[in-house]
Amino acid sequence: MSAHASDAVTEPLPSRRHSGFGAYVYATLATALAFVLAFLADHYLSVANLALIFLTAVLAVAVRTRMRVAAYTAVLCFLGYNFFFTPPRYTFTIDSADDVLTVGLFLVVALVCSRLATQLADKVASLRAAQVRAGALLELGQQLKADSDETSLHRVTVEIAARTLQTTTALLVRDGEPPTWRVAASAPQMPTLSPEDLAAADFCDRLAAPAGRGTRRASRARGWMIPLHAETRRHGVLALFDAESRDLPDNEQRHLAEAFVRTITQALEHARLTEALEKARVEGETERLRNALLSSVSHDLRSPLVSMIGAADTLSNYDRDLPEPERRQLLEAIIEEGKRLDRYIQNLLDMARLGHGELKLHRDWVDAAEIAVAAVARLHRLHPEQTVESRLPRDTVLLYVHPALVEQAVFNILENAAHVSPPHKPIDMNITLHDDWLHIDIIDRGPGIPDAERERIFDTFYSVARGDRQARGTGLGLSICRGLIGAHGGRVEALSTPYGGSMLRISLPLPDRPEMDA
């Protein structure tokens, strides 16, 4: 699971403007306050046009409630204005035609203003909701892009959905034998699934349609369920819980929840396909490595055995006739070939584990320079006369790899370069960074590789034909190196050099740096 934080914090959806009993209480109190202000203005300030006070009250109610509540306020203000402030006062009778026109126009203006204010408030609320919806989907998309495993995708989705929708949100998946529903992730708290909730999840998953509260399917459930279905796979359901209501979520909540579902479904499907492709690629590289090891048996085991048998036979038949230096030379040859044979047998053991799926990548954080230095040290033990000029990065470059396997691949190419390089000519090894890749370039001064054959050298049988496994070779070959590096998501390629010889480049992807504990 990757750890990261979003720069932007998703806001909750704007609160809905109410039209229930509380809204009418608010309208009545606003009207009463307008009357108090009007009485004070009439008594102490002698304000001639008190209608503006009542229009202000109507507008204040209209921007916070629905149209019918604003109309209720307008009618109350109209009746109160007529009864208390239009001559003759304290009666609904109006003597003057001018006052009739004034009161009538007041009612019309109040209703029109309330309508306009309500429409404007609706548009502002819609724009605010659209902004919140866009921000939530943007944050969701960014965090889903940063995560790749299913557990992290589930967690990110419910956290953002719960914060935006202001309700308990859970993602339910069905697994086990027999398949049962469980909460894969939830926020801000873990809901308890009732039998009605489980039935709603079943309906939702089976019918690929919303179910639960507010619907005709398992309507007694506390959760409103939405299916997470892709074309080829069902990923579960997203549930919005409300302990106090059995109604559908409002339109904004439903639309945003459905947008979340589309986004998370695409992310889950992408993660599944990526995992399947990676698995197929690794299996292909594993099979390639296994086949290369098998094909090397006949050559790599026979060469040291022939040398050992020949030296031992000579010692057995002519021991007393051989001078001391020749006997020592034959014994050293037996020891050296025995070490080579030990390395080959270890490769065969790795091949056996590979065939049974037991050879795993034990990844760890390691400095790229440490791998290079270790490989050069191994080369010097076997070829003390061979010099290697290394150019390593000044700063630490961390890789998340199986260190022994990558070191083996680097050593194999170094040893191959030592076999083809002329005497007293150094091997160059340069480690550079390019974008998100680490390049390990190993350059020899040998005869070089023709352009048309640069890819063929990684073929196992062609390698044997070219003789890159000399009498002192490691027995792995360049095809094995490509398999080792390919298992880490990297590549090995042969490139040309401006001054002759050949350059083999190992490229490994650079991982995100690990977080250090404070």
At residue 4, does pLDDT exceed 60?
A: no
Q: Are residues 97 and 185 in the same domain?
A: no
pLDDT > 90 in the chain, percent: 11
Please say whether the beta carbons of 476 and 402 come within 8 A: no
The predicted structure's pLDDT at residue 276:
82
310's enclosing H/E stretch is helix 251-318
Q: At residue 19, what is the residue type?
A: S
Please say whether the beta carbons of 14 and 129 come within 8 A: yes
In 3D space, the residue among 262, 317, 299, 335 whose CA is nearest the CA of residue 476 turns out to be: 299
CATH code for the domain in which residue 481 is found = 3.30.565.10
pLDDT band at 509 (very low <50, low <70, confident <90, very high): very high
* Cα gap 489→77, rounded to integer Å: 75
At residue 3, does pLDDT exceed 60?
A: no
Query: Comparing 102 with 377, which gets the higher pLDDT?
Result: 377
Please say whether the beta carbons of 142 and 154 come within 8 A: no
Select from 255, 276, 297 the last residue of a domain: 276
* Cα gap 447→341, rounded to integer Å: 29
Judged by DSSP in three states, 66 sits in coil
Select from 139, 174, 204 the last residue of a domain: 139
* Cα gap 67→118, rounded to integer Å: 6
- Verify cis geometry, omega within 30 degrees of 0, for the bond prior to 179: no
* Cα gap 295→329, rounded to integer Å: 31
At residue 190, does pLDDT exceed 80?
A: yes
Tell whether 312 is covered by a domain: no
The predicted structure's pLDDT at residue 492:
92
Tell whether 228 is covered by a domain: yes
Least confident of 79-93, 291-305, 392-406: 291-305
Q: Are residues 173 and 264 in the same domain?
A: yes
* 192 burial via Cβ count (<10 Å: 0-12, 13-18, 19+): exposed
Q: Are residues 180 and 270 in the same domain?
A: yes
At residue 344, does pLDDT exceed 80?
A: no
Q: How many domains does the chain have?
A: 3
Select from 217, 243, 276 the last residue of a domain: 276
Residue identified by tokens 């109190």 is 29
Tell whether 34 is covered by a domain: yes
pLDDT band at 9 (very low <50, low <70, confident <90, very high): very low
Please say whether the beta carbons of 245 and 213 come within 8 A: yes
Strand partners, 99: none
DSSP class of residue 43?
Answer: I
Q: Per-residue pLDDT averaged across 243-256, rounded?
A: 73
Tell whether 299 is covered by a domain: no
pLDDT > 70 in the chain, percent: 76
At residue 7, does pLDDT exceed 50?
A: no
pLDDT band at 442 (very low <50, low <70, confident <90, very high): very high
Helix, strand counts (H, E) of the chain:
12, 12
> pLDDT tens-digit profile of 318-328?
877 888 888 88
> Residue 92: which residues within 8 A CB-CB, separation 6 or more?
79, 82, 83
At residue 296, does pLDDT exceed 70?
A: no
Q: Are residues 132 and 218 in the same domain?
A: no
Residue identified by tokens 């998309």 is 141
Q: Are residues 130 and 203 in the same domain?
A: no
Q: Are residues 377 and 473 in the same domain?
A: yes
In 3D space, the residue among 52, 61, 74, 49 whose CA is nearest the CA of residue 23 turns out to be: 61
| Range of the structural domain that residue 403 is part of | 361-518
In 3D space, the residue among 334, 1, 275 whose CA is nearest the CA of residue 154 turns out to be: 1
* Cα gap 407→362, rounded to integer Å: 13
At residue 179, does pLDDT exceed 70?
A: yes
Q: Are residues 122 and 257 in the same domain?
A: no
* Cα gap 93→83, rounded to integer Å: 8
> Residue 303: which residues within 8 A CB-CB, separation 6 or more?
337, 340, 471
Q: Per-residue pLDDT averaged across 80-88, rounded?
A: 80
The predicted structure's pLDDT at residue 508:
94
Tell whether 1 is covered by a domain: no
User: What number of other Cβ atoms are within 10 A of residue 47's Cβ?
Assistant: 14
Q: Are residues 233 and 168 in the same domain?
A: yes
* Cα gap 419→473, rounded to integer Å: 8
pLDDT band at 472 (very low <50, low <70, confident <90, very high): very low
* 474 burial via Cβ count (<10 Å: 0-12, 13-18, 19+): buried
Cα of 177 vs its chain's centroid, Å: 29
122 to 16, 36, 115, 163, 239: CA distances (angstroms)? 10, 30, 11, 23, 28
373 to 158, 367, 410, 460: CA distances (angstroms)? 47, 10, 10, 28
> Residue 383: which residues within 8 A CB-CB, separation 6 or more?
415, 418
Q: Are residues 205 and 131 in the same domain?
A: no
The predicted structure's pLDDT at residue 447:
83
CATH code for the domain in which residue 199 is found = 3.30.450.40
Pair of tokens at residue 51: 């209608």
> pLDDT tens-digit profile of 354-363?
455 555 678 8
At residue 263, does pLDDT exceed 70?
A: yes
Please say whether the beta carbons of 226 and 258 come within 8 A: yes
Tell whether 353 is covered by a domain: no
> Residue 332: which residues within 8 A CB-CB, separation 6 or more?
none
Q: Are residues 129 and 205 in the same domain?
A: no
Highest-confidence segment of 4-13, 74-83, 498-507: 498-507
Q: At residue 95, what is the residue type?
A: D
* Cα gap 472→417, rounded to integer Å: 12
Least confident of 133-147, 175-189, 371-385, 393-407: 133-147
* Cα gap 287→355, rounded to integer Å: 8
Judged by DSSP in three states, 278 sits in helix
* Cα gap 175→102, rounded to integer Å: 72
Tell whether 29 is covered by a domain: yes
At residue 471, does pLDDT exceed 50?
A: no
Tell whether 15 is covered by a domain: no
Q: Per-residue pLDDT averaged across 127-142, rounded?
A: 68
Q: Per-residue pLDDT averaged across 252-279, rounded?
A: 80
pLDDT band at 316 (very low <50, low <70, confident <90, very high): confident
Q: Are residues 261 and 188 in the same domain?
A: yes
At residue 463, does pLDDT exceed 80?
A: no
> Residue 379: which residues within 8 A CB-CB, separation 6 or more?
386, 388, 411, 414, 415, 418
Q: Are residues 419 and 371 in the same domain?
A: yes
At residue 437, does pLDDT exceed 70?
A: yes
DSSP class of residue 425?
Answer: -
